[in-house]
Each structure stands twice: as C-alpha cells, then as structure tokens.
Chains A and B, each alone.
Chain A
C-alpha cells in the first residue's frame, strides 16, 4: 500500500472516530429529546460505517438495521407516547419542557467527582487496551479450519448458527422474553398513528413487497456472504411496522394463538432441531456435516419470521387487545 492511500485511510478513520465521539455526545447532551434521538439514529449509521471499516460487514448490517433503525424507531415511538400523555395530562406541575431539564440536581462537587471518575476510568480502560498483545490470533484460524464442516461459507454465520449456536438460541430467548415481559406490562396503545394519508397507504403497498423481498435475499445470502437471520428479521420487522403505520391493523389480538405461535416459532424450531439431534444419538445441536446447511437454513427461516414479528410487536409496545380499534 502506498503512503498516500495509507495516509488517506488514517485520516478517514481518525475523522470517523472523532465524529463518533462528537455525535455520541450530541445524542446524550442535546437539550431536546427528539433531536437527541435523531442524532442517535445518525450515530447508529456512523457506527455501522465504522464496522465496515473494521471489516465486519455482517455487524455493519445488524447495527444499521437493529442498532440504528429499530432502536431509533422504538425510541421515537416511546417519545411520541410520552409527549401525547403529557399533553393530555396538562398537569400544572409538569411543565412541557420537563424533558429538557437535563441533569439531576447534582451538586458541583458531585459533578466534579463524576468527571474525575470518568477520566480515571478512561485512562484505565485505555491502558488495558494498549497492554493487549498486538497480535493474538483469537479464534479466527480455528473457525477457518472448521468452516468446511459448518454447512455455510460465511464465517460469522458459521459461528452464530453452528459453533456457538447455543449462544444464539439463548439470544433468541432474550428477544422472546423481552416480548413476554413487555406484554405482561401493558396492553398495546389503542392507536398507533393518527389517520394516515392516502399517499402513505399507497406508498406502503408498493414498498412492503420490496422490503419482504430484501429480507428474503438477506436471509438466503447469509450462508455465503454478509447477511443472515437477524438482519433479515430486522428488515422484515420494518415491513410489518410500515403496515402498522399505514393503519392496517393486521396484528391479531394477543390472545389468539396464531400470533403467539409465530412469535415462538424461531425458538421452538431451534430447540426442536437440537432435541431431534439428541434423539439421533448426537449431542445437542451437533449437526451432521452433510445436513448442516439445510438444518441451519431451517432454523434461520423460522428465526427470521419470529424475529421480524417480535421486533414489530415490541415496536407496538404492548399486548394487542381483542377488538382493538382499527
């Protein structure tokens, strides 16, 4: 690599790192929460860009779709609900700018202490990072060695769905549990948006099939190239959210079992595959090499559907009620 392009790379990475810090600070310190969330989404995209620079396209996709996109959507939905309730409450002791009052009533001393502590922590963590050996191979070589036996050629998918499939199973469990928890807290708000325009509706009709197609592509390509169930599921969730935003309340009531079954599908298939392999005298989730690709695809398809519906249901923010208004 010649000196010029090396210098250009350095400059780009340095600037991106600075931008991360600056936007990150804007997210946290903006006086207005809405602005802060917009900065958060921009921050997520910068993080995704950083992951591209770190040669982690799979993570970049996941960060863009879930970290920036879905988390951003969750935050915006929560903020709009907060504000709507605050408007309707009209309590005199809650000034509308309550959300802009930023810091706790910390004394100057406490704040100074906090800043000193943060600085010390930064130095400790930095020292720890610098003291890391410059070149530990990590598990990269072992992954490469066993990749041909994993049933897929994308090493990240191989780790997620074969070598460390148990992690991924429990992670599906975390997502499922979050939904159970959110449902146990509250019913879904009756109305998601106020009267969508007809342009939005026709736009959604065109967009949704394209988004679903994109999700299918991401799922399929995950075996060979960046992509996979979580990225595809997040994109699928976007399609469901679009439908919900257009006011076509297609989310069936929470007490009907098809929705519950769809939500449990991914985890259920994952566990069922693991158990069946045990029934065949192998250990849990020990895929036979020649069947590994198919089994992983089966798990991923089920997972994508569940992830998509779960993320969309989390966006809805509560248990859909029987006969909730359209």
Chain B
C-alpha cells in the first residue's frame, strides 16, 4: 500500500527546515528576515522534493526512530497531504516575500514575526504529514499558539482581544480533540491513523470520540455558528498574517477533519455529514450577508472567509453517496483556489490600508490612484471568489455541482450558486469604489513594489488555478486518499 520512504528523506526536511529556521530566527533577531527567506527557500525545496517522491513512488511512510506504529510515531505523505503541503508552500513563500517589504527591518514587529511565522509553517507541515492522532494534537497546539501570537504582533487593543478570543476558542477545540484521542486509545489501544481506521466501529466510545473530534476541529475551522472568533482575529492581524490565517490555518484543521473522516471515523456517518453540510450552507449565507454589511475592508474580507469555508463543508453530505470522490475533489480544489484568492485579497487590502492609512470602505472611493496594482489584484481575486470561469473557484464549484447532481441531492446546488451571487455583491461593492471620482490628493503613501506584485501574483494564480485543475486532481490522486471509497474519474 504505502512504501516506506527510501532515498532522500524529504518528509523530514519539510518539517525541519522551517523548525531549524525558527530557532535561528530567534537566535539572530537582527537577521531574522534573512533567516526567514533562507528557511522559506529550504522549505520550498523540501516540499518540491517530497511532491516528486510521492508522484514517482506513491504514498510515503516514514518510521521515526525506526520503531514504526503503533509503538512509534510515523509520518505519512499521500496525495492529500502533498496538495495541502504544496498550497501552504506557495502561499508561504509568497507571503515571505511580501513580509520582507511589510515589516521594517529589525523592527520589534519584524523580530516577533519571523520566528513565529516559521513556527506556524513548521506546525502546518508537521500536521499535514503526521500519521498519529496524539502527535497531531501537539501539532494543533503548535499551530494555535503561533497563530495567536502572530495576530497579537500588531499590538493594538483590537488585535490583542482578537488574539485572546482566538486563543481561548482554539484551546477549547484542542481539548475537545484531545478527549477524542483519549477515548480512541482507550477503545483500540493505538494512535496510528491507519491502524485505528481498521478498528473503529459503531460503539458508543467511538461515536463520542468522533463527535468530540468533529466539534473541536469545526471550532478551529470556524464552521458556522462557531465562527465568531474568526473575523476580529483575521481582520486585526497584520496583512501578511491575515493572509496566512485565512488561506492556510483554518484549512489545516479542516484537512485534519477530512483526514479523520476518511481514515478513522466509523464509516457511514450520514447524519453528521448532513449536519455539517447544513451548517456549511448557513455559513455561506450568513458570512456573505455579514460581508455585505461591513464598514471596514479587512473585516469584509474576513467575513468572506467565513462564507467560503462553508463551501468546504458541503462535501460531507455529498460524499456519503456514490459521488464521494467527486465531492472530496471539489472540496480540495476549493481549498487551493480559496487559499490563493484570499491571500491576494488580504495582501491587496493590506497595501490599500498602508497607502491610504485606513480601510474604512466609505472613504476609500477614488483611492485607486495609489496602489493601483493592488486594486487590480483585488478585482482579479474577486473573479475566483465569485466563482466565474476560468478561475479555480469556478472549477471547484463546478466539480461540487457535479457531485450534487450525481448524488441526486440537487438542492445542495442552491447554496453553491447562491453563495456566488452574494460574493459578487460584496466584491463589486469594493471594486466599484475604484471607479469613484478621484479624491483629494496628498494623502497617500507609496507601497513597496514587491508587496503589490505579490498580491497581483496570487490573484492571477487564483484565476489560473482553473487551468491547472487536472494537474491538481491527478496529484491528489497519486496518493489515492479517497481510494477506499472508490476513486472515479473526475471531470
């Protein structure tokens, strides 16, 4: 099934490049941004190496300490982990470039940002590659603590209270997850995902453990109505951090939910699937309506994240039928395209905020004469958020619609399409500002070119992702994560 990794242990380098970088960024605070760039380079290389390995040799398993599960902890890389890793790598590398412009060299904020960001990256890569549910708990905590500290980097009252609420909610989610781990170990005496998957069944302990884990991870993924912590935290964070949180961090816990759903939880949980789907649909409507009514640009983008995360959860009801592989593929496509588009939007919003000095939507009219590229980036990213062709957002929704009709559950197409219309409304609300008459001159600051180009790059990538759909899905398939449900041709 899975080959024991041989050759270059890229899987180790993917976790330890950012980790070693984080230590050095702390040791050499004056050169933190240089260390950050070098670590980003090494991490990207390791990720590419691992991707090649998985494509060539199939899923990889690495026995840490040589023990092997269940006694030891294993790492594993299949198609799903690799797609997540790659998404995090692309966003991470781009945000690294952006951050070198955003944070002034050896300022207090820069010194705080670099080691924390590298820890965040370590936590994500470790999470995508772990095959042990307790080890995953530790990676979840690494992820929460680094994400919370990053939100607080800007240091104002909004950021601090946003960070605190985020921390409390995150810790609650982790504890809920941990209780599930304890019950699973008590029932089956193992912590390895693959071994556990063969043992779980319809017993009360397994059901309760499943419920606890789903709840904990849904809180962390900001599923409606447990999303209340997300907008203040994501909006108050510095722009590169907002991008990382919205594009990646919430998806890391979603990835874990998906992984456990596929590999560990007792099979056939249609009721839970339908419930998650309903909450996802509610998130799409509620998040979009809230986004429409926001007065601040970054809050609008953050509520858009709440709405877009809802789409991911629509895969659960669709996947309880024959269309499973299609539904999951749509969900993963959505993760990728939303990550790119949302990074572009938050980076662009950060540029606009920096050039105008505020992000009050009502006063942004005509502000496009500075940071013009960022306005363009925002509009292009909007294409993918709305789901217009040929963007990645479009293909993701298209695949999901296919799953909805193929599974005979056409009604799920309503939130998919309706959410796109609502997204169009809030995106146009911002884009229309660019066509407002030009305001009084002399209030704008210039933004470093690389920050504008980073935003634009991600926006273009989000649109282009539509053309790369087949490549992404075949990469996903190279590890056959959905194989046990019966892989079928998509598109």
Contact = CB atoms under 8 A, between A and B. Distances in A.
Whether A and B touch (Cβ < 8 Å) is answered with yes
Interface of A: 124-125, 127-133, 136-139, 142-143, 146, 162-167, 170-171, 173-174, 176-178, 180-181, 183-185, 255, 257, 260-261, 263-264, 267-268, 271, 275, 278, 282-287
Given A170-B126, A174-B142, A278-B9, A286 B26 contact: no
Top 8 closest pairs, chain A to chain B, by CB:
A184-B112, A181-B149, A128-B208, A286-B66, A131-B204, A138-B189, A136-B189, A166-B64
Given A132-B205, A255-B29, A139 B71 contact: yes
Interface string B137-180: 01101100110110011010000000000000000000000010
A180 B187 contact: no
B71 A184 contact: no
Contacts of A136: 186-189
22 contacts: A124-B208, A127-B204, A128-B207, A128-B208, A129-B183, A146-B67, A163-B71, A164-B72, A171-B138, A173-B119, A173-B142, A176-B23, A180-B26, A180-B119, A184-B112, A185-B152, A261-B27, A271-B23, A275-B16, A278-B12, A285-B64, A285-B65
Contacts of B321: none
Interface in B182-201: 183, 185-190
Contact of A139 (B189, B204, B208): B189
Most B-side CB within 10 Å, residue of A128, A130, A143: A128
Contact of B179 (A125, A131, A287): A125
A188 B204 CA distance: 49
A257 B27 contact: yes
Interface string B116-150: 10010010001000001011001101100110110
B58 interface: no
Count class of interface residues, chain B: 35 or more
Contacts of A133: 187
Nearest to B65: A285
Interface of B: 9, 12, 16, 19-20, 22-23, 26-27, 29, 62-67, 70-73, 111-112, 115-116, 119, 122, 126, 132, 134-135, 138-139, 141-142, 145-146, 148-149, 152-153, 155, 179, 183, 185-190, 203-205, 207-209, 211
B189 A137 contact: yes
Secondary structure class of chain A's binding surface, majority of residues: helix
Nearest to B190: A139
Contacts, number: 144
Nearest to B73: A166
B138 A286 contact: no
A167 B134 contact: yes
Most B-side CB within 10 Å, residue of A267, A271, A284, A286: A284
A170 B189 contact: no
B65 A166 contact: yes
Given A164-B72, A285-B64, A138 B185 contact: yes
A284 B12 CA distance: 8
B378 to A, nearest CB: 30
Given A125-B179, A139-B190, A287-B65, 10 more contacts: A128-B204, A163-B65, A170-B138, A177-B22, A177-B116, A177-B145, A180-B149, A183-B112, A261-B27, A282-B66
A139 B110 CA distance: 45
A185 B179 contact: no
A181 B65 contact: no
A143 B190 CA distance: 13
Contacts of B26: 176, 180, 260, 263-264
A166 B188 contact: no
A264 B365 CA distance: 49
Nearest to A292: B65
A127 B183 CA distance: 11
Most B-side CB within 10 Å, residue of A181, A183, A285: A181
A305 to B, nearest CB: 15
A240 to B, nearest CB: 19
Contact of B73 (A130, A167, A183, A184): A167
Contacts of B145: 174, 177-178, 181
A131 B26 CA distance: 48
Contact of B183 (A132, A167, A261): A132
